[in-house]
């Protein structure tokens, strides 16, 4: 186990300038009374959570309690599921991302996402994978080489791939692929980065490397991470929200607050049972 | 066995020796050979000495059945029931594959034997308008047919690729409720007999066109192209549809999560990922329409002279060329048909080879790229 305080956080170099990208800096994300349905089934209810800028918020809880659904609501990926619907508000720096006239594409450009399964684009080289976001969202960049280097460096992959940027992205190992996906998300310089169990398919060494990456980028963007691994939540996050769904009931946030408090002296008995490993 | 191998230099470990897993041993081969010989001899003894054989096919069937039975019994005796069943099934499977391959090779060989001796470069140099029925087969000219086939296929491609690609994208990448009817329609169209496609163009365009005196709608390569499009479009659409479905949803989500629109995702992520499969689908479709005869009979009609203009006047193509000469009574005229068939087969083989090369191109480039990286 690595304590986050011992990880070296390098002074971040000035970001490469993009035109047409998200506004610079991190943004605060806040959900108000969010509920979600799949078809007629209510899976999530009354989630009001503040995810402060430049900090890492972890969403923990047993499977099927709506953590991933909540995460996908935060950047409007939820609505891609044909039967899905939702209620409530998600505020990005105070503006509702579901307001009329707000385009989902623009929201997703500002709020990046890393998926559970590494999904680099197989038809593209490592370099093109990193730059894919620019091409896909129509963002311009004057110095692409610098952007590739910076993004890969922030994702902790630069040293391993700098000699083979033209190799296909699919030729990397699973952990490297996941870091490539992180670099791809970081290249468009989003204000928030969502991570949906980014380490669940990886070995401990890769997991440690990615946790290190999270610790480094957590000072520059807002990070929201879903994890099943409670040690991981403890290591990487500043804030924690514990989700729980009783049988045949929608998921709710049982307790949220600073990570140290959730793991050290939780107020709710169920949180205490969960973080001490008594169930789940 | 490994102990008898010569010792390597002490600094390097002994190179690993591959173990044989599923190969046939010498004893297996001898047993199979013995079974085959006894089966043949027994067949000969029973069918030719004791009875009168009804023909070579009966000999073959009896010998094969005897061989299978003997192989099973011998293997069960040596290796047990499980191994015997395994040997029996693999023998049947291999025979089945051979049974498919033999007629195919025979067919190809037949065309090559009949066509190749008479194929000259001149075939690609002139048409049939100057060649009389009594002229030697080597004087056959197929320029008009080759030009017609190439033009009609290329025009078909121009119509089919955009339509097929767009339909497949519509079926796969949108959420329209019309997807189901469209898919049913495509399926129904792929069962359309090709002569009906030709007949449709004839009845719907050519007859009214001739009656109304509109020169555009009369026998021409373009009308053949329309009929061929009806044949090729459903197959190509379905194949591209399947290929697009193979693209993992994770890639679409990744692209959308980066702020891409759906159209952008299709263009920049889905299609490049499926590129190889789409190319293969198109080339296989081309190879198929290049050999279609029926849709051409009442649309391009055929001609013995070169007509390089696909829009006006009857046009020949290789399948029509073959059809025209193979049904003639004179032997040297029939042989012209074989020459045409050979050229058509070579053309289609060329297209298949192209499909394989295009299909392999990417991975090959990748491995070489990888290798240069490793040596660096």
A166 touches chain B (CB under 8 A): yes
pLDDT tens column, B180-203: 999 999 999 988 899 999 999 999
How far is the CA of A102 from the CAs of A71, B106, B324, in angstroms? 19, 67, 66
Residue B373: predicted pLDDT? 45
- CA B337 vs. chain centroid, Å, equals 21
**Among all residues of chain B, which has the CA nearest to that of A195?**
B257
pLDDT tens column, B84-106: 888 899 999 999 999 999 999 99
Residue B6 has pLDDT above 60, yes or no: no
Residue owning tokens 């009817």 = B181
Radius of gyration of chain B (CA): 29
Cβ atoms of A228 and A63 within 8 Å: the answer is: yes
Percentage with pLDDT > 90 across chain B: 47
Inter-chain CB pairs, A–B, below 8 Å: 83
**Among all residues of chain A, which has the CA nearest to that of B362?**
A123
Cβ atoms of B213 and B194 within 8 Å: the answer is: no
Better-scored residue on pLDDT, B369 or A232: A232
State whether B255 and A168 contact (CB < 8 Å): no
| B196 min Cα distance to partner chain A (Å) | 40
For an interface test with B, the pick among A21, A136, A189 (most B C-beta atoms closer than 10 Å) comes out as A136
State whether A137 and B275 contact (CB < 8 Å): no
Beta bridge partners of B287: none
Q: Which chain B residues touch A77 with a CB distance below 8 Å?
A: 253, 256-257
Give the closest residue to A52 by CA, choosing from A215, A271, A219: A219
pLDDT tens column, B39-63: 999 998 988 888 887 888 888 898 9
Can you tell me the ipTM of this complex? 0.88
What is the mean pLDDT, run by run of 10 residues, along chain A of 280 residues? 44 71 88 93 92 93 90 92 92 92 91 93 93 91 91 90 90 90 92 92 87 90 92 92 89 92 90 81
Better-scored residue on pLDDT, B138 or B376: B138
pLDDT tens column, B331-368: 888 899 999 999 999 998 888 888 778 766 554 444 44
| B249 min Cα distance to partner chain A (Å) | 10
| pTM (two decimals) | 0.79
* Residue B84 to residue B107: CA distance in whole angstroms: 35
pLDDT tens column, B306-336: 888 888 889 999 999 999 899 888 888 889 9
> If you write DSSP's letter for every residue of B216-252 in order, what string do you get?
TSSSSHHHHHHHHHHHHHHHHHHHHHHHHHTS-HHHH
Residue B9: predicted pLDDT? 52
| A110 min Cα distance to partner chain B (Å) | 8
SS3 readout for B242-310: HHHHCCCHHHHHHHHHCCCCHHHHHHHHHHHHCHHHHHHHHHHHHHHHHCCCHHHCCCCECCCCCCCCC
| B165 min Cα distance to partner chain A (Å) | 19
Residue A87: predicted pLDDT? 93
């Amino acid at each position: 186990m690595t304590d986050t305080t011992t990880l070296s956080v390098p002074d971040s170099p000035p970001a490469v300038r993009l035109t047409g990208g998200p506004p610079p800096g991190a943004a605060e994300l806040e959900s108000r009374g969010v509920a979600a349905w799949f078809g007629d089934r209510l899976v999530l209810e009354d989630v009001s959570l503040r995810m402060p800028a430049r900090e890492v918020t972890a969403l923990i809880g047993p499977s099927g309690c709506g953590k991933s659904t909540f995460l996908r609501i935060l950047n409007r990926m939820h609505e891609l599921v044909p039967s899905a619907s939702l209620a409530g508000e998600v505020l990005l720096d105070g503006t509702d991302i579901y307001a009329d006239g707000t385009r989902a594409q623009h929201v997703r450009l500002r709020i990046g996402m890393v998926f559970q399964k590494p999904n680099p684009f197989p038809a593209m080289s490592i370099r093109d994978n990193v730059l894919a976001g620019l091409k896909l969202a129509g963002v311009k960049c004057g110095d692409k080489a610098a952007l590739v280097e910076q993004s890969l460096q922030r994702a902790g992959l630069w040293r391993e791939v700098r000699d083979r940027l033209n190799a296909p992205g699919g030729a990397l190992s699973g952990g490297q692929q996941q870091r490539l996906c992180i670099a791809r998300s970081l290249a468009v310089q989003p204000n928030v980065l969502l991570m949906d169990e980014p380490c669940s398919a990886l070995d401990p060494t890769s997991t440690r490397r990615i946790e290190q990456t999270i610790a480094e980028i957590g000072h520059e963007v807002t990070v929201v991470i879903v994890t099943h691994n409670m040690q991981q939540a403890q290591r990487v996050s500043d804030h924690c929200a514990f989700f729980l769904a009783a049988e045949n009931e929608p998921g709710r946030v049982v307790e949220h607050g600073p990570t140290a408090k959730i793991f050290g002296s939780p107020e709710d008995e169920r949180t205490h049972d969960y973080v001490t490993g008594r169930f789940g | 066995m490994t102990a008898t191998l010569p010792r390597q230099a002490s600094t390097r470990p002994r190179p690993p020796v591959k173990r044989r897993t599923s190969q046939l041993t010498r004893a297996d081969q001898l047993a199979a050979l013995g079974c085959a010989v006894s089966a043949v001899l027994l067949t000969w003894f029973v069918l030719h000495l004791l009875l009168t054989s009804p023909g070579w096919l009966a000999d073959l069937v009896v010998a094969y059945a005897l061989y299978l039975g003997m192989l099973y019994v011998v293997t069960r005796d040596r290796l047990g029931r499980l191994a015997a069943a395994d040997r029996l099934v693999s023998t049947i499977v291999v025979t089945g594959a051979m049974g498919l391959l033999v007629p195919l090779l025979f067919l190809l060989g037949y065309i090559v034997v009949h066509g190749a001796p008479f194929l000259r470069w001149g075939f690609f140099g002139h048409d049939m308008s100057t060649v009389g029925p009594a002229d030697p087969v080597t004087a056959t000219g197929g320029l008009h047919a080759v030009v017609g086939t190439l033009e009609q296929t290329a025009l078909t491609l121009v119509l089919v690729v955009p339509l097929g690609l767009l339909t497949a994208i519509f079926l796969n990448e949108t959420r329209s409720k019309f997807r189901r009817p469209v898919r049913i329609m495509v399926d129904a169209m792929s069962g359309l007999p090709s002569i009906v496609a030709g007949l449709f163009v004839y009845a719907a365009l050519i007859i009214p066109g001739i009656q109304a005196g509109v020169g555009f709608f009369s026998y021409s390569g373009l009308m053949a192209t329309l009929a061929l499009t009806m044949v090729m479009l459903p197959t190509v659409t379905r194949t591209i549809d399947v290929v697009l479905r193979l693209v993992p949803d994770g890639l679409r989500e990744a692209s959308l999560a980066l702020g891409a629109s759906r159209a952008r995702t299709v263009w920049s992520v889905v299609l490049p990922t499926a590129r190889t499969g789409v190319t293969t689908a198109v080339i296989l479709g081309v190879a198929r329409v290049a050999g279609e005869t029926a849709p051409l009979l009442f649309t391009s009609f055929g001609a013995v002279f070169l007509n390089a203009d696909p829009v006006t006047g009857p046009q020949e193509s290789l399948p029509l060329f073959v059809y025209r000469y193979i049904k003639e009574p004179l032997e040297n005229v029939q042989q012209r048909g074989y020459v045409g068939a050979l050229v058509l087969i070579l053309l289609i083989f060329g297209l298949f080879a192209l499909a394989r090369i295009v299909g392999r191109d990417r991975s090959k480039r990748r491995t070489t790229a990888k290798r240069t990286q490793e040596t660096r």
